[in-house]
Amino acid sequence: MIAASTSAVIYNDKRRRKMVTPEGISLPITVGSRGSRVGAYMLDIMIYFFAQVVFWILMAVLFSTTFEDTLSGTEDGVTGAAEFIVILYTLVSFVGWYAYFFAFELSPRGATPGKRIVGLRVAARDGGRLTAEAIIARNLIRDIEALYPIVFLFVVLAGEGGNMGWAAAIWFCVFCAFPFFNKDALRAGDMIAGTWVVEAPRLKLADTMSTQGAAHGTSGVTGAKYQFGDEELGIYGEHELQTLERVLRDDKYESLVAVHGTICHKIGWNPGAGDERAFLEAFYAQLRAKLEGDMRFGKRKADKYS
């Protein structure tokens, strides 16, 4: 039992990394395991194809007569309406496949439903925000890595393609080997896009962090009162809020001082040293309240660049 526990800790430590944000803050992260990434991808495929089946059934119900003509008619007998329905479904399937990954990974959570289920998210390796270019690159490369070879293999299994099956199998194996030849389990798409997939544990701040006096603006240490205006709180968004939450949870003095200095410089404050945690708790609580209030009115601020 002791040996197994020790082995698990060592394995997890091998996936521990430090990510440095543009503000110079060092955050501990854990790179997602290869198995969990495969599981997340399979879940996303299942979710996508389930949505496609639902969409197909909905179209069949709405256009039942047209579908009967499409399925039973010859090439000369297919109506223009039936051709339009087939084209529409093809376009929706094609656009939906890419929109599914792009939209979810560009969201503040940085994760598709499959990744969220297994506890993963996509992050930029430079510690900055995820860009649309990075998300597009990693998802387009993934199709080259896996989707197209799998399609070719199915074509071969159907009795077509000849030697194309062997070429597809080699192609697939080469790209599948990428995550096993680098310590961060990066696939080709991650290398090109400058991203990695990390664990996103479902943790929340303790209730006391949002209810103690400092979080409401008054320091329990110095008695100083911290109240921030909309302009001062407006410099940051949901991404920075999550970063500040991790810093407060880790409670490392060096990180607290660094973040305190960065925020003070941004908003033009000079409160002095010695009360960094109370200041950050107050800023965190008021920033979270502002972002949640804006969301109720349909306004979202993903990060400081939004």
3-state secondary structure of 60: helix
Q: Does residue 125 sit in the same domain as residue 218?
A: no
Question: Do residues 284 and 248 lie in contact, with contact meaning Cβ atoms separated by under 8 Å?
Answer: yes
| pLDDT of 131 strictly over 80 | yes
Q: For position 67, what pLDDT does the model report?
A: 57
**182-to-33, 34, 115, 179, 185 alpha-carbon distances in Å:** 12, 12, 21, 6, 6
Q: Does residue 221 sit in the same domain as residue 118?
A: no
Q: Is residue 187 assigned to a domain?
A: no
pLDDT classification of 5: cutoffs 50, 70, 90 = very low
CA 181 distance to own-chain centroid:
24
Q: Does residue 213 sit in the same domain as residue 131?
A: no
Nearest CA-CA partner of 134 in 142, 24, 71, 149: 142
Q: For position 201, what pLDDT does the model report?
A: 64
Q: Does residue 25 sit in the same domain as residue 110?
A: yes
Q: Is residue 5 assigned to a domain?
A: no
Given 178, 199, 220, the domain boundary residue is 199
pLDDT classification of 210: cutoffs 50, 70, 90 = very low
Q: Is residue 152 assigned to a domain?
A: no
13-30 pLDDT tens trace:
688 887 776 666 667 788
Of 111-115, 180-184, 297-301, least confident by mean pLDDT is 297-301
Distance CA 248, CA 122 (A): 22
Q: Does residue 108 sit in the same domain as residue 219?
A: no
pLDDT averaged over the chain? 77
Q: Is residue 74 assigned to a domain?
A: yes
Of 26-35, 66-75, 147-156, 195-204, least confident by mean pLDDT is 66-75
Question: Do residues 240 and 22 lie in contact, with contact meaning Cβ atoms separated by under 8 Å?
Answer: no
Mean pLDDT of 287-305: 75
Q: Does residue 33 sit in the same domain as residue 128?
A: yes
Both structure tokens of 152: 């070719």
Q: How many domains does the chain have?
A: 2
Q: Does residue 36 sit in the same domain as residue 110?
A: yes
Given 158, 174, 199, the domain boundary residue is 199
Q: Which residues pair with 196 in a beta bridge?
A: 123
195's enclosing H/E stretch is strand 195-199
3-state secondary structure of 105: helix
Q: Is residue 22 assigned to a domain?
A: yes
Question: Do residues 146 and 172 lie in contact, with contact meaning Cβ atoms separated by under 8 Å?
Answer: yes
Q: Which domain holds residue 15?
A: 11-141+195-199
Q: Does residue 34 sit in the same domain as residue 137?
A: yes
Given 164, 183, 199, the domain boundary residue is 199
Distance CA 204, CA 246 (A): 9
Q: Is residue 182 assigned to a domain?
A: no
Q: Is residue 154 assigned to a domain?
A: no
Cα torsion 151, 157, 159, 163: sign: positive
Q: What is the pTM of this model?
A: 0.62
3-state secondary structure of 121: strand
CA 156 distance to own-chain centroid:
35
Question: Do residues 223 and 276 lie in contact, with contact meaning Cβ atoms separated by under 8 Å?
Answer: no
Question: Do residues 306 and 239 lie in contact, with contact meaning Cβ atoms separated by under 8 Å?
Answer: no
